[in-house]
Amino acid sequence: MNMTGYTVPIQKDMACANATEKISTVAAQAVSKKINGMAFKDAETFLEKLVDGKASVNHKLHTNAAESILSLLKSAENNAIAKKLDTERLTVMAAAHKGPKIFRGRRKRAFGMRMKSTHVQIVLKPAKIKNEIVGKKKLETKNDVVKKEGKLSEHITEKKTAEKKSG
């Protein structure tokens, strides 16, 4: 299931959400860059602190962008729960791009006005766990076996003497 319209190719084990929000593109990009790659729970607590004014991104609060991205993150969490994914092991991939131009209509003497809009995408993907091998045994090389036995130096000296005799 490869969904189009996302910056990342989407697989079945990913949960995603996107929306066009009426927020600043620069603020949304700064916040999404900060939470990109974070664990889901860490990103959620960071955004809540950002909304409360207890944290900042580049010494700025970006509360409107943080509120929008937090609501989108909660929507992605609900999608993950519906797909029966473990929310403890998810990482956040966030992106923000400039949205479509929306014009407010013109009145008698006034000119029209362009409204700001931003495309925000949140993808929750399972985190890769280091040193976890599922269903396969790691093949041992000759050096690994020699290191286990503690005979690495003996093995190297034997190789060198054998090369000198043959060469």
Fold classification of 15-126 (topology level):
Ribosomal Protein L22; Chain A (3.90.470)
Question: What SS3 string covers the chain?
Answer: CCCCCCCCCCCCCCEEEEEEECCCHHHHHHHHHHHCCCEHHHHHHHHHHHHHCCCCECCECCHHHHHHHHHHHHHHHHHHHHCCCCHHHEEEEEEEEECCCEEECCCCCCCCEEECCEEEEEEEEECCCCCCCCCCCCCCCHHHHHHHHCCHHHHHHHHHHHHHHHC
The structural domains of the chain, with segments of one domain joined by +, span: 15-126, 137-167
44-94: pLDDT as tens digits: 999 999 999 999 999 999 999 999 999 999 999 999 999 999 989 999 999
pLDDT per residue as tens digits for the range 103-122: 888 877 778 888 899 999 99
Indicate whether 29 pLDDT > 70. Answer: yes
